[in-house]
Structure formats: C-alpha cells, structure tokens
Amino acid sequence: MEEFSRSILCRHKGILVCLVGICLLPGCANEEKNAASSAPLPLAVQDAPAKCPFLYRDEVFPISFEMACGYRKEVSFENPSSPPSTIKRRVVFRGEGGDEIVMDVWENPSHMDLREWLDRYGSVARFRSEPIKEVKAMITGKTLGIREVAMSQRSPRKDYIIVGDRYLVVRLMFVDLDKKASQTAYENAIRTLSIGEVGQ
C-alpha cells in the first residue's frame, strides 16, 4: 500500500496539512477537472451575445426581436397556470443608460382578436384609461397592435406597444428610469419583433 499512496503530515503553526502523494482511485485524477467543467457560468458570461445587435429568442413562447448590447436579461416571473388576464411571463432587459425594455406575454385561450382582447383585458394591459383610438397592423404588416405612451409624476414614462394574434398577446415596453435614456434599442426591438405560431 505504501508504494501506491504516500502521506506526509506536516504541522506548521498549529495547522495540519495532509498531502497525498499518489491516488489511483477511479476518476480521482479527473475529479477536479470535471467539477470545474460542470460548474455554472456567471450570468455575465452566459448572456454575452456573440455579436451586436443579437437576436433574442424567447425560451417559452415563439417570440423574437433584436436587442442591442449592454442589456442584461432577467426573467422577472412566470405564471403558467394563471387565468387569461394575468401575465404569463415577464422578461426585463436592463440597460446601462438608465432604461428597461420589458416583454410581457399573455396567452389568448379564447382566440379573440386583439380588439376583443383589449375590450376585455385592456384595463390590466394598458396604463391609460381613455378609449383606444386605433388598432392597426404593426409588425410584419399583419399582426394587429396599438402604441401608447403613459406619463405621470409618480412613475417613469412608459412607451409601449401591445400586439397579438389569436394565440398570444405581447406587450413590449420602454421604461425611462432616468428621464433621458435613448429609445434606439427599443425602436429596433419593435421593428424586428416577430410572433410565431404556438406549437411550432
């Protein structure tokens, strides 16, 4: 046994140090290497895009849009078993310039068109109480939507669109936290927003 394993016990200032000379147990030599390779990467590394702007594809719903660099993604909450009036998923992109781009998703199990959906659930999806002026084609020339701006003294300015089809309703919102952030990334996200068919 001595030719396979040697231990040297050293006492230095009250600390016992054990040095194992040779270890022939199966997998021992690769234990540290495997542990390091299986450790989760920091969020900053996991979320780093290969190029800018990068195409964000949601992990749950068939939604995608381009995002600029400098935004950190955070899944705020998910409510998969909630009623239709409740947001199913919220993803927040926090920018370095004092802004947030927020994506909220509702499911549309009754397959209402957007005007019907807004008549029923607009009070929870909108930040304004006056009647909707117009519902029009907004993304890819076929998906109906509205665009509104909400401002108050007690909360940041919100510029948002609500678009949807007979399966999903999406609110993409720009929140100006410091009252001077650029909307360039948000406008590009709107321009490139795509909602695919559920189940594909």
* Most confident among 6-20, 76-90, 172-186 (mean pLDDT): 76-90
pLDDT at 199: 53
Q: Give DSSP secondary structure letters for 93-117.
A: EEETTSEEEEEEEEE-TT---HHHH
69/60 Cα distance (integer angstroms)? 22
Q: Are 115 and 125 in contact (CB under 8 A)?
A: no
pLDDT bin (cut points 50, 70, 90) of residue 155 is confident
CATH number given to 43-195: 3.40.1000.10
In sequence order, which residues have a C-beta less than 8 Å from that of residue 2 and are 6 or more positions away?
none
Range in 31-40, 44-53, 123-132, 146-155 the model is least confident about: 31-40
Asked if residues 158 and 149 have their Cβ atoms less than 8 Å apart, the reply is: yes
pLDDT in the model for residue 122: 94
The token pair at 126 is: 């909108």
Q: What are 72-121's pLDDT values in tens digits?
A: 999 999 999 999 999 999 999 998 878 899 999 999 999 999 999 999 99
Spatial distance between the Cα atoms of 156 and 159, rounded to a whole number of angstroms: 10
Q: Is the pLDDT of residue 9 over 70?
A: no
pLDDT of residue 198: 66
Average of per-residue pLDDT across 45-52: 52
Q: Which tokens hold the place of 172?
A: 């993409």
Total-model pTM:
0.72
Q: How far is the C-alpha of 44 from the C-alpha of 51, rounded, in Å?
A: 15
Cβ–Cβ under 8 Å, residues 146 and 119: no
Report the C-alpha gap between 104 and 48 in whole angstroms.
22
Segment 150-171 mean pLDDT? 91
Cis peptide preceding 53, ω within 30 of 0: yes
pLDDT of residue 41: 33
Read off the pLDDT band of 187 (50, 70, 90).
very high
Each domain of the chain, given as residue ranges in start order, spans 7-38, 43-195
